[in-house]
Structures are given as C-alpha cells and as structure tokens.
Amino acid sequence: MWSPMLKKTDQPIHEVISRTHLPLFDLQETDGQIKAKARFSADAIWFQGHFPSIRILPCVAVTALAVEPLLRNSLAKGRPLKIKGFSRVRIKILTFPDEPLDIAIENMPPDREAELAFEVSCRGAKVCQGKALVAEQ
C-alpha cells in the first residue's frame, strides 16, 4: 500500500525478513551458555538494499543473530522466551558474506526475567557484544 507520506521509487519491494532467515547451525548447550554457528551467503535476504555497492551484514541482523540460539534452544525445551530489550550493544567489526560466525549467549536461569550477556565473533575477533533483557512469554 502506497502512502502519500512515502516517496515512490522504482526499487523492487523486498521480502519481509524474519527469524527463519537466520542461518544458524551446530546449536549446543554447554557450561551455562548456548552456542551456535552461522554463515550468511552473499544472496541472503539480509543484504538486500543495504549498502548495494558492498555487502555488509546490517547491525540489526547481527543483534538478532546473537539471541537466536537462546530463543531456539528454550523453545525446543518448551519454555518460549521473548526479547524485551538490549543494552551495552557494541558492534566492533563489520561482517561480510560467507564469514564464519560464532555465537555465545548465557543460558536462561530459572527466573522469569534475566539480563544475559552475548557475543558474536568471527575467526576469534569480536563482531558484537552486549546484553539482552529476556523474559518468559
């Protein structure tokens, strides 16, 4: 639906991006953390329209990726969680297509709400770190 407040362009309308577009694999629960790996191919939907001349993974994708292992792990255990907010998020380096990403986030304690530290890294270098405020749904 076109709104008079929006500028009409000849750009194609992109598919809506969802959590299913986060390419996680090797999900593991170890030592109070949930860990996983991810790799975004150059044709991943996250790169559409974002810096067309150079493919850089948007910070929102990196932040979503940071909490996704926890959300998937807890859902599989019958304890759905929701993200209420983020704090102290720092993007340290840019992420490009086909880079191997490692994700680690603290596991949810028995409490109904917690602030959990997370980190995303690439080949040992920190990409992103911060804290997520997580609660039971």
pTM of the complete model: 0.84
Q: Dump pLDDT digits (tens) for 63-106.
A: 999 999 999 999 999 999 999 999 999 999 999 999 999 999 99
Q: Nearest to residue 48, comparing CAs of 2, 98, 12?
A: 12
Q: Nearest to residue 19, comparing CAs of 73, 72, 98, 95?
A: 72
Distance CA(13)–CA(22), nearest Å, equals 20
Averaged pLDDT score across all residues of the chain = 87
Model confidence band, residue 1 (pLDDT cutoffs 50, 70, 90): very low
Q: How confident is the model at residue 20, as a pLDDT?
A: 65
Q: Nearest to residue 118, comparing CAs of 70, 55, 72?
A: 70
Quick check: 10 pLDDT over 60? no
Q: Which helix (H) or strand (E) holds 74?
A: helix 59-76
Phi, psi of 59 (to 5 degrees): -60, -35
Q: Which CATH architecture has domain 23-136?
A: Roll (3.10)
